[in-house]
A and B are shown apart, each in its own frame.
Chain A
Amino acid sequence: MATSDEIMEALADFKEQCNGNKRLRRMQRDWTKVLHYAAVDTGDKFTMTVREGEILSNEKGAAGTPDVIIEGESETLCNMFWGDINPTQMYLKGEIKVKGTQEDIMRIDAITAIIWPEV
Protein backbone atom coordinates (compact mmCIF):
# COMPACT_ATOMS: atom_id res chain seq x y z
CA MET A 1 0.00 0.00 0.00
CA ALA A 2 1.24 3.49 -0.81
CA THR A 3 0.24 6.58 1.12
CA SER A 4 -1.12 9.62 -0.57
CA ASP A 5 2.15 11.50 0.09
CA GLU A 6 4.14 8.70 -1.49
CA ILE A 7 1.96 8.87 -4.60
CA MET A 8 2.33 12.67 -4.70
CA GLU A 9 6.10 12.23 -4.52
CA ALA A 10 6.01 9.77 -7.43
CA LEU A 11 3.74 12.16 -9.36
CA ALA A 12 6.16 15.03 -8.79
CA ASP A 13 8.99 12.97 -10.21
CA PHE A 14 6.82 11.90 -13.15
CA LYS A 15 5.99 15.54 -13.86
CA GLU A 16 9.64 16.53 -13.80
CA GLN A 17 10.59 13.70 -16.13
CA CYS A 18 7.80 14.47 -18.59
CA ASN A 19 8.15 18.22 -18.66
CA GLY A 20 11.93 18.05 -18.94
CA ASN A 21 11.80 15.76 -21.96
CA LYS A 22 11.79 17.82 -25.14
CA ARG A 23 11.07 14.87 -27.43
CA LEU A 24 8.09 13.90 -25.32
CA ARG A 25 6.75 17.45 -25.21
CA ARG A 26 6.80 17.62 -29.00
CA MET A 27 5.11 14.23 -29.33
CA GLN A 28 2.39 15.03 -26.84
CA ARG A 29 1.72 18.62 -27.83
CA ASP A 30 -1.82 17.78 -28.99
CA TRP A 31 -2.70 16.15 -25.67
CA THR A 32 -4.70 18.37 -23.32
CA LYS A 33 -6.49 16.43 -20.58
CA VAL A 34 -7.62 16.38 -16.98
CA LEU A 35 -6.80 13.01 -15.49
CA HIS A 36 -8.12 11.63 -12.23
CA TYR A 37 -6.26 8.84 -10.50
CA ALA A 38 -8.10 6.85 -7.85
CA ALA A 39 -6.43 4.42 -5.45
CA VAL A 40 -9.11 1.79 -4.93
CA ASP A 41 -7.61 0.35 -1.73
CA THR A 42 -7.09 3.63 0.16
CA GLY A 43 -9.77 5.74 -1.48
CA ASP A 44 -7.23 8.50 -2.23
CA LYS A 45 -7.78 10.54 -5.36
CA PHE A 46 -5.47 12.75 -7.42
CA THR A 47 -5.88 15.20 -10.27
CA MET A 48 -3.33 15.74 -13.02
CA THR A 49 -3.80 18.59 -15.44
CA VAL A 50 -2.03 18.32 -18.79
CA ARG A 51 -2.01 21.12 -21.33
CA GLU A 52 -0.45 20.59 -24.73
CA GLY A 53 1.71 17.83 -23.36
CA GLU A 54 2.93 19.75 -20.32
CA ILE A 55 1.88 18.53 -16.89
CA LEU A 56 0.72 21.76 -15.29
CA SER A 57 -0.16 20.38 -11.87
CA ASN A 58 -0.74 17.37 -9.66
CA GLU A 59 -3.13 17.81 -6.79
CA LYS A 60 -4.66 15.67 -4.10
CA GLY A 61 -8.37 15.12 -4.51
CA ALA A 62 -10.58 14.87 -7.58
CA ALA A 63 -10.92 18.37 -9.05
CA GLY A 64 -12.72 19.48 -12.17
CA THR A 65 -14.27 17.28 -14.84
CA PRO A 66 -11.93 14.48 -15.85
CA ASP A 67 -11.36 13.31 -19.43
CA VAL A 68 -9.78 10.15 -18.12
CA ILE A 69 -10.18 8.27 -14.83
CA ILE A 70 -7.53 5.73 -13.92
CA GLU A 71 -8.15 3.35 -11.05
CA GLY A 72 -5.79 0.90 -9.44
CA GLU A 73 -4.28 -0.15 -6.15
CA SER A 74 -2.23 2.65 -4.53
CA GLU A 75 0.94 0.59 -4.90
CA THR A 76 0.27 0.01 -8.61
CA LEU A 77 -0.30 3.72 -9.24
CA CYS A 78 2.84 4.59 -7.34
CA ASN A 79 4.90 2.04 -9.29
CA MET A 80 3.45 3.36 -12.52
CA PHE A 81 4.61 6.93 -11.80
CA TRP A 82 8.05 5.73 -10.75
CA GLY A 83 8.32 3.83 -14.03
CA ASP A 84 8.57 0.43 -12.38
CA ILE A 85 5.70 -1.10 -14.32
CA ASN A 86 4.31 -0.98 -17.82
CA PRO A 87 0.83 0.61 -17.60
CA THR A 88 -0.58 -1.19 -20.64
CA GLN A 89 0.40 -4.57 -19.25
CA MET A 90 -1.33 -3.67 -15.98
CA TYR A 91 -4.37 -2.49 -17.96
CA LEU A 92 -4.47 -5.75 -19.90
CA LYS A 93 -4.35 -7.75 -16.69
CA GLY A 94 -7.23 -5.71 -15.35
CA GLU A 95 -4.98 -4.27 -12.58
CA ILE A 96 -5.58 -0.76 -13.85
CA LYS A 97 -9.00 0.39 -14.98
CA VAL A 98 -9.30 3.29 -17.36
CA LYS A 99 -12.45 5.21 -17.97
CA GLY A 100 -11.73 7.20 -21.09
CA THR A 101 -10.57 6.25 -24.50
CA GLN A 102 -8.22 3.58 -25.74
CA GLU A 103 -6.13 6.39 -27.24
CA ASP A 104 -5.60 7.94 -23.84
CA ILE A 105 -4.29 4.73 -22.31
CA MET A 106 -1.95 4.45 -25.32
CA ARG A 107 -0.79 8.03 -24.75
CA ILE A 108 0.03 7.26 -21.15
CA ASP A 109 1.91 4.17 -22.26
CA ALA A 110 3.72 6.20 -24.94
CA ILE A 111 4.87 8.65 -22.25
CA THR A 112 6.31 5.85 -20.14
CA ALA A 113 7.86 4.21 -23.23
CA ILE A 114 9.79 7.42 -23.88
CA ILE A 115 10.85 8.09 -20.30
CA TRP A 116 11.55 4.49 -19.37
CA PRO A 117 12.12 2.62 -22.64
CA GLU A 118 13.27 -0.53 -20.86
CA VAL A 119 10.04 -1.03 -18.87
Chain B
Amino acid sequence: MTVVDDILAEKDFEKIRKETETNYREYLNPFALRMFKNAGLDVIEGRREGACVWDISGEKYIDCVTGAGIFNAGRHNREITDALKKALDVYDMGGWISIIRERGLLAKKLAQITPGNLKYSIFCCGGGEAVEVAIKLARGHTGKTEIICMENGYHGVTGFALPATGREVYKKPFAPLTPGYIHVPFNDLDAVKSAITKDTAAVLLEPVQGEGGIRPADDSYLAGLRKLCTENEILLIFDEVQTGFGRTGKMFCAEHSGVTPDIMVLAKSMSGGLYPISCAVFTEEISDFLYSHPFIIINSFGGTSLACLTALATIEYIEKNNLPERAVQMGKRFMEGLLALKKNFPELVVDVRGKGLMLGIEFPEDSIGPRMACLLKKNGVISIYTFNNPKIIRIMPSLVITEEEVDFVIDAFDKSLKEIRAQEAGRNMKGAGK
Protein backbone atom coordinates (compact mmCIF):
# COMPACT_ATOMS: atom_id res chain seq x y z
CA MET B 1 0.00 0.00 0.00
CA THR B 2 1.28 3.45 -0.90
CA VAL B 3 -0.04 6.94 -0.42
CA VAL B 4 -1.57 6.64 -3.91
CA ASP B 5 -3.71 3.68 -2.87
CA ASP B 6 -4.97 5.67 0.09
CA ILE B 7 -5.78 8.72 -2.02
CA LEU B 8 -7.54 6.75 -4.74
CA ALA B 9 -9.50 4.67 -2.22
CA GLU B 10 -11.28 7.68 -0.74
CA LYS B 11 -14.86 7.77 -2.01
CA ASP B 12 -16.55 10.26 0.34
CA PHE B 13 -16.90 13.13 -2.10
CA GLU B 14 -17.98 15.68 0.49
CA LYS B 15 -14.80 14.92 2.42
CA ILE B 16 -12.73 15.17 -0.78
CA ARG B 17 -14.34 18.49 -1.69
CA LYS B 18 -13.69 19.99 1.71
CA GLU B 19 -10.13 18.73 1.87
CA THR B 20 -9.34 19.94 -1.67
CA GLU B 21 -10.82 23.39 -1.13
CA THR B 22 -8.91 23.75 2.13
CA ASN B 23 -5.68 22.70 0.44
CA TYR B 24 -6.23 25.17 -2.38
CA ARG B 25 -6.99 27.90 0.14
CA GLU B 26 -4.12 27.08 2.46
CA TYR B 27 -1.40 25.81 0.14
CA LEU B 28 -2.09 26.74 -3.48
CA ASN B 29 -3.90 29.87 -4.58
CA PRO B 30 -6.77 31.10 -2.41
CA PHE B 31 -7.93 33.79 -4.80
CA ALA B 32 -7.97 31.43 -7.78
CA LEU B 33 -10.20 29.12 -5.76
CA ARG B 34 -12.51 32.03 -5.00
CA MET B 35 -12.69 32.90 -8.70
CA PHE B 36 -13.48 29.28 -9.62
CA LYS B 37 -16.22 29.15 -7.01
CA ASN B 38 -17.64 32.54 -7.95
CA ALA B 39 -17.81 31.47 -11.57
CA GLY B 40 -19.48 28.19 -10.67
CA LEU B 41 -16.50 26.40 -12.19
CA ASP B 42 -15.59 24.61 -8.97
CA VAL B 43 -15.76 21.16 -10.51
CA ILE B 44 -13.32 18.82 -8.81
CA GLU B 45 -12.38 16.42 -11.55
CA GLY B 46 -13.11 12.79 -10.85
CA ARG B 47 -13.69 10.38 -13.71
CA ARG B 48 -12.64 11.55 -17.16
CA GLU B 49 -13.53 9.79 -20.41
CA GLY B 50 -14.03 10.68 -24.06
CA ALA B 51 -15.44 14.20 -24.32
CA CYS B 52 -16.60 14.17 -20.69
CA VAL B 53 -15.47 14.85 -17.19
CA TRP B 54 -17.31 13.96 -14.00
CA ASP B 55 -17.21 15.96 -10.81
CA ILE B 56 -16.20 13.82 -7.80
CA SER B 57 -19.88 13.88 -6.83
CA GLY B 58 -20.68 12.03 -10.08
CA GLU B 59 -22.12 15.03 -11.97
CA LYS B 60 -21.26 14.69 -15.69
CA TYR B 61 -20.10 17.53 -17.93
CA ILE B 62 -18.97 17.86 -21.51
CA ASP B 63 -15.51 19.40 -21.37
CA CYS B 64 -15.30 22.18 -23.95
CA VAL B 65 -12.08 23.61 -22.53
CA THR B 66 -9.85 20.50 -22.56
CA GLY B 67 -7.04 22.52 -20.99
CA ALA B 68 -7.07 24.71 -24.15
CA GLY B 69 -6.38 21.76 -26.39
CA ILE B 70 -4.60 19.13 -24.30
CA PHE B 71 -7.12 16.35 -24.83
CA ASN B 72 -7.62 16.10 -28.58
CA ALA B 73 -7.51 12.29 -28.29
CA GLY B 74 -10.13 12.33 -25.53
CA ARG B 75 -10.02 12.50 -21.77
CA HIS B 76 -8.14 9.56 -20.22
CA ASN B 77 -7.77 7.80 -23.55
CA ARG B 78 -7.56 4.09 -22.73
CA GLU B 79 -5.41 3.02 -25.66
CA ILE B 80 -2.80 5.66 -24.97
CA THR B 81 -2.98 4.94 -21.24
CA ASP B 82 -2.27 1.26 -21.95
CA ALA B 83 0.69 2.22 -24.12
CA LEU B 84 2.10 4.39 -21.35
CA LYS B 85 1.54 1.60 -18.80
CA LYS B 86 3.51 -0.79 -21.01
CA ALA B 87 6.28 1.76 -21.37
CA LEU B 88 6.37 2.22 -17.61
CA ASP B 89 6.77 -1.51 -17.10
CA VAL B 90 9.93 -1.45 -19.18
CA TYR B 91 11.51 1.98 -18.77
CA ASP B 92 12.04 4.97 -16.57
CA MET B 93 12.33 8.45 -18.12
CA GLY B 94 15.79 7.87 -19.49
CA GLY B 95 18.80 10.07 -18.99
CA TRP B 96 18.98 13.37 -20.75
CA ILE B 97 22.69 13.08 -21.48
CA SER B 98 22.29 9.73 -23.18
CA ILE B 99 21.02 8.40 -26.44
CA ILE B 100 17.37 7.43 -26.31
CA ARG B 101 15.87 5.33 -29.10
CA GLU B 102 12.31 6.56 -28.53
CA ARG B 103 13.43 10.18 -28.89
CA GLY B 104 14.79 9.46 -32.34
CA LEU B 105 11.65 7.59 -33.37
CA LEU B 106 9.40 10.45 -32.32
CA ALA B 107 11.57 13.05 -34.05
CA LYS B 108 11.40 10.99 -37.25
CA LYS B 109 7.63 10.65 -36.97
CA LEU B 110 7.26 14.41 -36.48
CA ALA B 111 9.42 15.05 -39.54
CA GLN B 112 7.06 12.80 -41.51
CA ILE B 113 3.78 14.34 -40.35
CA THR B 114 4.67 18.03 -40.12
CA PRO B 115 4.36 19.97 -43.38
CA GLY B 116 7.06 20.81 -45.90
CA ASN B 117 10.70 20.63 -44.95
CA LEU B 118 10.27 20.71 -41.17
CA LYS B 119 12.61 18.00 -40.00
CA TYR B 120 14.57 18.39 -36.76
CA SER B 121 13.10 18.48 -33.25
CA ILE B 122 14.15 19.74 -29.85
CA PHE B 123 11.95 18.41 -27.05
CA CYS B 124 10.85 20.08 -23.86
CA CYS B 125 7.94 19.74 -21.41
CA GLY B 126 5.63 22.74 -21.82
CA GLY B 127 4.44 25.02 -24.62
CA GLY B 128 6.17 28.12 -23.27
CA GLU B 129 9.44 26.26 -23.05
CA ALA B 130 9.13 25.16 -26.69
CA VAL B 131 8.40 28.76 -27.73
CA GLU B 132 11.62 29.73 -25.96
CA VAL B 133 13.50 27.15 -27.98
CA ALA B 134 12.01 28.56 -31.18
CA ILE B 135 13.09 32.08 -30.28
CA LYS B 136 16.58 30.96 -29.29
CA LEU B 137 16.93 29.07 -32.57
CA ALA B 138 15.73 32.12 -34.50
CA ARG B 139 18.24 34.40 -32.82
CA GLY B 140 21.01 31.80 -32.87
CA HIS B 141 20.50 30.90 -36.52
CA THR B 142 19.99 34.38 -37.98
CA GLY B 143 22.34 36.28 -35.68
CA LYS B 144 19.58 38.88 -35.47
CA THR B 145 17.59 39.82 -32.38
CA GLU B 146 14.11 41.19 -33.01
CA ILE B 147 11.00 39.06 -32.86
CA ILE B 148 7.79 40.41 -34.38
CA CYS B 149 4.78 39.05 -32.52
CA MET B 150 1.06 39.71 -32.45
CA GLU B 151 -1.14 41.84 -30.24
CA ASN B 152 -3.32 39.58 -28.11
CA GLY B 153 -1.16 36.57 -28.97
CA TYR B 154 -0.44 34.05 -26.26
CA HIS B 155 2.76 32.02 -26.08
CA GLY B 156 3.08 31.16 -22.42
CA VAL B 157 4.68 32.87 -19.47
CA THR B 158 8.26 31.62 -19.29
CA GLY B 159 11.33 33.84 -19.80
CA PHE B 160 11.73 34.13 -23.56
CA ALA B 161 8.06 33.35 -24.26
CA LEU B 162 6.49 35.90 -21.93
CA PRO B 163 7.65 38.99 -23.83
CA ALA B 164 6.05 37.47 -26.97
CA THR B 165 2.68 37.19 -25.26
CA GLY B 166 0.73 40.19 -26.45
CA ARG B 167 -0.90 41.45 -23.32
CA GLU B 168 0.52 43.75 -20.66
CA VAL B 169 -1.24 42.19 -17.70
CA TYR B 170 0.97 39.07 -17.84
CA LYS B 171 4.16 41.08 -18.11
CA LYS B 172 3.93 44.27 -16.11
CA PRO B 173 4.76 42.89 -12.66
CA PHE B 174 7.89 41.15 -13.95
CA ALA B 175 9.66 43.91 -15.85
CA PRO B 176 12.33 44.26 -17.10
CA LEU B 177 11.73 41.47 -19.61
CA THR B 178 14.04 40.15 -22.31
CA PRO B 179 14.13 42.95 -24.90
CA GLY B 180 13.69 42.75 -28.67
CA TYR B 181 10.00 41.91 -29.07
CA ILE B 182 7.69 44.06 -31.19
CA HIS B 183 3.93 43.62 -31.28
CA VAL B 184 1.78 44.37 -34.30
CA PRO B 185 -1.94 43.90 -35.00
CA PHE B 186 -2.87 40.34 -35.99
CA ASN B 187 -3.89 39.58 -39.58
CA ASP B 188 -2.35 42.84 -40.85
CA LEU B 189 0.45 42.23 -43.35
CA ASP B 190 1.31 45.90 -43.73
CA ALA B 191 1.86 46.16 -39.98
CA VAL B 192 4.45 43.38 -40.17
CA LYS B 193 6.03 44.98 -43.23
CA SER B 194 6.42 48.27 -41.37
CA ALA B 195 7.86 46.58 -38.29
CA ILE B 196 10.65 44.77 -40.16
CA THR B 197 14.14 46.14 -39.62
CA LYS B 198 17.61 44.88 -40.42
CA ASP B 199 17.56 43.26 -36.94
CA THR B 200 14.40 41.22 -37.42
CA ALA B 201 15.06 37.54 -36.71
CA ALA B 202 11.55 36.09 -36.84
CA VAL B 203 7.81 36.59 -37.05
CA LEU B 204 5.96 34.55 -34.43
CA LEU B 205 2.22 33.91 -34.46
CA GLU B 206 -0.56 31.44 -33.79
CA PRO B 207 -2.34 30.48 -37.05
CA VAL B 208 -5.55 30.70 -35.03
CA GLN B 209 -5.21 32.98 -32.02
CA GLY B 210 -6.51 30.96 -29.09
CA GLU B 211 -6.47 33.12 -25.98
CA GLY B 212 -6.84 36.17 -28.23
CA GLY B 213 -10.42 35.09 -28.93
CA ILE B 214 -10.37 32.23 -31.47
CA ARG B 215 -9.27 34.37 -34.39
CA PRO B 216 -8.10 32.48 -37.49
CA ALA B 217 -5.43 34.14 -39.62
CA ASP B 218 -6.44 34.62 -43.26
CA ASP B 219 -4.73 32.23 -45.69
CA SER B 220 -3.65 35.19 -47.82
CA TYR B 221 -2.08 36.84 -44.75
CA LEU B 222 -0.08 33.70 -43.97
CA ALA B 223 1.01 33.41 -47.60
CA GLY B 224 2.01 37.09 -47.51
CA LEU B 225 4.00 36.54 -44.33
CA ARG B 226 5.78 33.58 -45.88
CA LYS B 227 6.84 35.65 -48.87
CA LEU B 228 7.86 38.61 -46.74
CA CYS B 229 9.93 36.43 -44.43
CA THR B 230 11.68 34.60 -47.25
CA GLU B 231 12.51 37.85 -49.05
CA ASN B 232 13.95 39.41 -45.91
CA GLU B 233 15.72 36.31 -44.55
CA ILE B 234 13.46 36.25 -41.54
CA LEU B 235 12.19 33.04 -39.96
CA LEU B 236 8.49 32.34 -39.77
CA ILE B 237 7.43 30.61 -36.55
CA PHE B 238 3.98 29.08 -36.08
CA ASP B 239 2.90 28.41 -32.53
CA GLU B 240 0.63 25.39 -33.01
CA VAL B 241 0.39 24.61 -29.32
CA GLN B 242 -3.41 24.86 -29.43
CA THR B 243 -4.01 24.28 -33.13
CA GLY B 244 -1.83 21.20 -33.59
CA PHE B 245 -2.70 17.50 -33.75
CA GLY B 246 -5.99 17.66 -35.61
CA ARG B 247 -7.72 20.43 -33.67
CA THR B 248 -8.55 22.61 -36.67
CA GLY B 249 -9.42 19.82 -39.12
CA LYS B 250 -5.90 19.11 -40.40
CA MET B 251 -3.09 17.46 -38.51
CA PHE B 252 -1.51 20.93 -38.32
CA CYS B 253 -3.28 24.21 -38.96
CA ALA B 254 -0.52 25.34 -41.33
CA GLU B 255 -1.82 22.79 -43.87
CA HIS B 256 -5.02 24.81 -44.47
CA SER B 257 -3.07 27.65 -46.06
CA GLY B 258 -0.30 25.51 -47.52
CA VAL B 259 2.21 27.78 -45.81
CA THR B 260 5.12 26.03 -44.13
CA PRO B 261 6.84 27.88 -41.31
CA ASP B 262 10.55 27.53 -40.60
CA ILE B 263 9.83 26.51 -37.03
CA MET B 264 6.66 24.97 -35.63
CA VAL B 265 5.96 24.83 -31.90
CA LEU B 266 3.95 21.87 -30.60
CA ALA B 267 2.76 20.92 -27.11
CA LYS B 268 -0.58 20.27 -25.37
CA SER B 269 -2.18 17.32 -27.21
CA MET B 270 1.17 15.84 -28.12
CA SER B 271 1.10 14.56 -24.54
CA GLY B 272 -2.05 12.50 -25.12
CA GLY B 273 -3.19 14.30 -21.98
CA LEU B 274 -1.06 11.82 -20.06
CA TYR B 275 2.63 12.67 -20.10
CA PRO B 276 3.96 16.20 -20.70
CA ILE B 277 5.99 16.81 -23.83
CA SER B 278 6.45 19.69 -26.24
CA CYS B 279 8.81 20.51 -29.06
CA ALA B 280 10.06 22.93 -31.64
CA VAL B 281 10.30 21.33 -35.10
CA PHE B 282 12.52 23.15 -37.60
CA THR B 283 14.23 22.94 -40.95
CA GLU B 284 17.59 21.38 -41.74
CA GLU B 285 19.03 24.81 -42.44
CA ILE B 286 18.24 25.98 -38.92
CA SER B 287 19.66 22.75 -37.51
CA ASP B 288 23.10 24.00 -38.60
CA PHE B 289 23.08 26.06 -35.42
CA LEU B 290 23.27 22.79 -33.48
CA TYR B 291 26.59 21.87 -35.08
CA SER B 292 28.29 24.80 -33.47
CA HIS B 293 26.16 24.69 -30.31
CA PRO B 294 25.03 21.10 -29.69
CA PHE B 295 24.54 21.41 -25.93
CA ILE B 296 23.17 24.85 -25.14
CA ILE B 297 19.45 24.34 -25.73
CA ILE B 298 18.94 21.62 -23.16
CA ASN B 299 16.72 20.44 -20.33
CA SER B 300 16.40 17.46 -18.00
CA PHE B 301 12.89 16.31 -18.77
CA GLY B 302 12.28 17.05 -22.48
CA GLY B 303 11.70 14.04 -24.69
CA THR B 304 12.01 11.30 -22.09
CA SER B 305 11.43 7.68 -23.11
CA LEU B 306 8.02 7.71 -21.49
CA ALA B 307 6.95 11.01 -23.03
CA CYS B 308 8.11 10.00 -26.51
CA LEU B 309 6.36 6.64 -26.39
CA THR B 310 3.18 8.36 -25.19
CA ALA B 311 3.43 10.93 -27.98
CA LEU B 312 3.97 8.18 -30.57
CA ALA B 313 0.91 6.32 -29.27
CA THR B 314 -1.08 9.58 -29.35
CA ILE B 315 -0.13 10.34 -32.94
CA GLU B 316 -0.96 6.78 -33.92
CA TYR B 317 -4.37 7.10 -32.25
CA ILE B 318 -5.08 10.44 -33.98
CA GLU B 319 -4.09 9.02 -37.38
CA LYS B 320 -5.84 5.68 -36.98
CA ASN B 321 -9.10 7.31 -35.94
CA ASN B 322 -8.73 10.12 -38.44
CA LEU B 323 -9.42 12.71 -35.77
CA PRO B 324 -8.65 15.69 -38.03
CA GLU B 325 -11.53 14.64 -40.31
CA ARG B 326 -13.71 14.11 -37.25
CA ALA B 327 -12.87 17.68 -36.20
CA VAL B 328 -14.12 18.84 -39.61
CA GLN B 329 -17.40 16.90 -39.34
CA MET B 330 -18.17 17.77 -35.74
CA GLY B 331 -17.00 21.34 -36.32
CA LYS B 332 -19.52 21.62 -39.14
CA ARG B 333 -22.31 20.35 -36.91
CA PHE B 334 -21.30 22.81 -34.20
CA MET B 335 -21.17 25.68 -36.67
CA GLU B 336 -24.68 24.98 -37.91
CA GLY B 337 -25.94 25.05 -34.33
CA LEU B 338 -23.99 28.17 -33.48
CA LEU B 339 -25.24 30.02 -36.54
CA ALA B 340 -28.78 29.17 -35.52
CA LEU B 341 -28.06 30.62 -32.07
CA LYS B 342 -26.70 33.77 -33.69
CA LYS B 343 -29.94 34.09 -35.62
CA ASN B 344 -32.11 33.41 -32.57
CA PHE B 345 -30.18 35.65 -30.16
CA PRO B 346 -29.05 38.56 -32.33
CA GLU B 347 -28.74 40.88 -29.32
CA LEU B 348 -26.42 38.45 -27.51
CA VAL B 349 -24.39 36.65 -30.17
CA VAL B 350 -22.20 38.98 -32.19
CA ASP B 351 -20.14 36.40 -34.05
CA VAL B 352 -19.37 32.69 -34.28
CA ARG B 353 -16.13 31.57 -35.84
CA GLY B 354 -13.30 29.10 -35.88
CA LYS B 355 -11.80 26.16 -37.70
CA GLY B 356 -12.61 22.50 -37.10
CA LEU B 357 -13.17 22.06 -33.39
CA MET B 358 -11.49 25.29 -32.38
CA LEU B 359 -14.56 27.47 -32.12
CA GLY B 360 -15.52 30.71 -30.47
CA ILE B 361 -18.73 32.54 -29.82
CA GLU B 362 -18.50 36.28 -29.30
CA PHE B 363 -20.81 38.35 -27.11
CA PRO B 364 -21.33 42.10 -27.17
CA GLU B 365 -19.72 42.76 -23.78
CA ASP B 366 -17.02 41.31 -21.51
CA SER B 367 -19.32 40.26 -18.67
CA ILE B 368 -21.40 37.91 -20.81
CA GLY B 369 -18.44 35.55 -21.36
CA PRO B 370 -17.99 34.80 -17.65
CA ARG B 371 -21.77 34.76 -17.09
CA MET B 372 -22.22 32.25 -19.89
CA ALA B 373 -19.46 30.03 -18.43
CA CYS B 374 -21.39 30.01 -15.17
CA LEU B 375 -24.71 29.12 -16.81
CA LEU B 376 -23.18 26.55 -19.15
CA LYS B 377 -21.80 24.67 -16.19
CA LYS B 378 -25.28 24.60 -14.69
CA ASN B 379 -26.45 23.15 -18.01
CA GLY B 380 -23.80 20.41 -18.11
CA VAL B 381 -21.01 22.01 -20.15
CA ILE B 382 -17.63 23.24 -18.99
CA SER B 383 -16.39 26.15 -20.99
CA ILE B 384 -14.45 29.29 -20.29
CA TYR B 385 -13.82 32.62 -21.93
CA THR B 386 -10.55 33.19 -23.77
CA PHE B 387 -7.97 34.73 -21.41
CA ASN B 388 -7.07 37.72 -23.55
CA ASN B 389 -10.63 38.42 -24.55
CA PRO B 390 -13.44 37.60 -22.09
CA LYS B 391 -16.14 38.49 -24.66
CA ILE B 392 -15.46 35.14 -26.32
CA ILE B 393 -16.36 31.71 -25.02
CA ARG B 394 -14.27 28.97 -26.52
CA ILE B 395 -15.57 25.61 -27.65
CA MET B 396 -12.65 23.19 -27.83
CA PRO B 397 -13.93 19.74 -26.94
CA SER B 398 -12.04 16.50 -27.44
CA LEU B 399 -12.04 15.50 -31.09
CA VAL B 400 -13.72 12.22 -30.11
CA ILE B 401 -16.92 14.11 -29.26
CA THR B 402 -20.05 12.40 -30.61
CA GLU B 403 -22.90 13.95 -32.58
CA GLU B 404 -25.23 13.61 -29.59
CA GLU B 405 -22.70 15.40 -27.41
CA VAL B 406 -22.38 18.24 -29.93
CA ASP B 407 -26.16 18.63 -29.88
CA PHE B 408 -26.13 18.58 -26.08
CA VAL B 409 -23.60 21.45 -26.03
CA ILE B 410 -25.63 23.51 -28.50
CA ASP B 411 -28.73 22.91 -26.40
CA ALA B 412 -26.82 24.03 -23.28
CA PHE B 413 -25.83 27.23 -25.09
CA ASP B 414 -29.44 27.77 -26.09
CA LYS B 415 -30.67 27.36 -22.50
CA SER B 416 -27.90 29.58 -21.13
CA LEU B 417 -28.56 32.35 -23.64
CA LYS B 418 -32.25 32.21 -22.76
CA GLU B 419 -31.31 32.73 -19.11
CA ILE B 420 -29.12 35.71 -19.94
CA ARG B 421 -31.95 37.14 -22.02
CA ALA B 422 -34.32 36.70 -19.07
CA GLN B 423 -31.84 38.33 -16.66
CA GLU B 424 -31.45 41.30 -18.98
CA ALA B 425 -35.20 41.64 -19.50
CA GLY B 426 -35.74 41.51 -15.73
CA ARG B 427 -33.27 44.31 -15.19
CA ASN B 428 -34.72 46.45 -17.96
CA MET B 429 -38.19 46.06 -16.46
CA LYS B 430 -36.87 46.99 -13.01
CA GLY B 431 -35.20 50.02 -14.57
CA ALA B 432 -38.40 51.03 -16.36
CA GLY B 433 -40.48 50.62 -13.20
CA LYS B 434 -38.33 53.00 -11.19
Q: Which residues of chain A have a CB within 8 Å of any CB of chain B?
A: 30, 40-41, 73, 86, 88-89, 91-95, 97-98, 101-103, 106, 109-110, 113
Known: A30-B173, A101-B366, A102-B366. A88 touches B35 (CB 8 A): yes
Contact across chains for A92 and B39 when beta carbons are under 8 A apart: yes
Contact B423 A94 (CB under 8 A): yes
- The residue in chain A whose Cβ has the minimal distance to the Cβ of B389 is A102
CB pair B424–A94 under 8 Å, yes or no, is yes
With the chains together, A110 CA to B29 CA distance in Å?
A: 12
Contact present for A41 and B366 (CB under 8 Å):
no
Assuming the A-B contacts A40-B431, A41-B434, A103-B169, are A91 and B34 also in contact, with contact meaning beta carbons closer than 8 angstroms in the complex?
Answer: no
Contact size range, B: 20 to 34
- Alpha-carbon distance A62/B80, docked complex (angstroms): 59
Decide if A91 touches B431 in the complex (CB within 8 Å): no
User: Chain B's nearest CB lies how many Å from the CB of A75?
Assistant: 11
Query: In the complex, which of the residues B30, B34, B366, B431 contacts A109, with contact meaning CB atoms closer than 8 Å?
Result: B34
- CB interface residues, B 147-187, toward A, < 8 Å: 169, 172-173
**CB-defined contacts of B173 to chain A, threshold 8 Å:** 30
Residues of A within 8 A of B31 (CB): 110, 113
Contact present for B370 and A106 (CB under 8 Å): no
Residues of A within 8 A of B420 (CB): 94
Is B101 among interface residues, defined by CB-CB distance under 8 A?
no
Known: A92-B374, A94-B367, A102-B366. A86 touches B38 (CB 8 A): yes
Instruction: Tell me if A93 and B35 are in contact (CB < 8 A).
Output: no
Given A73-B430, A88-B39, A113-B34, 7 other A-B contacts at CB below 8 A? A88-B38, A89-B38, A91-B367, A92-B370, A94-B371, A94-B423, A98-B367
Does B390 count as interface, using CB distance less than 8 angstroms? Answer: yes
B373 shortest CB reach to chain A, Å? 9
